[in-house]
Homo-oligomer: A and B are copies of this chain.
């Protein structure tokens, strides 16, 4: 149900997508930010800061700041957990979903031309 990519194919895929990110009008996020965004959208909620930090093996401030940046871009939202008001729940947004749809398109499209 999948084929292993050769070295040249894999690198071409990566280059094409990276280049599209550089040229595209959308903000190009850091590697850390992309990891966080994808985790929020691909794994089941709820997502807390501490959970994300542990899962991605980074410090909590990294998560906080990434959410600040991506929040400004409206790619994610924060909400207080009413059950335990110490927690902050990270939530998805329409814009974030669209952003990832486009990213997936780029990857998928480029993988066709190997």
Contact = CB atoms under 8 A, between A and B. Distances in A.
A3 B15 CA distance: 18
Given A11-B42, A103-B14, A35 B19 contact: yes
Nearest to A37: B15
Label chain A's interface by main secondary structure.
helix
Interface residues of A, number: 46
Given A1-B114, A3-B2, A5-B108, A22 B31 contact: yes
Nearest to A30: B30
Interface string A102-114: 0111011101111
Interface of A: 1-15, 17-19, 21-23, 28, 30-32, 34-35, 38-39, 41-42, 56-58, 100-101, 103-105, 107-109, 111-114
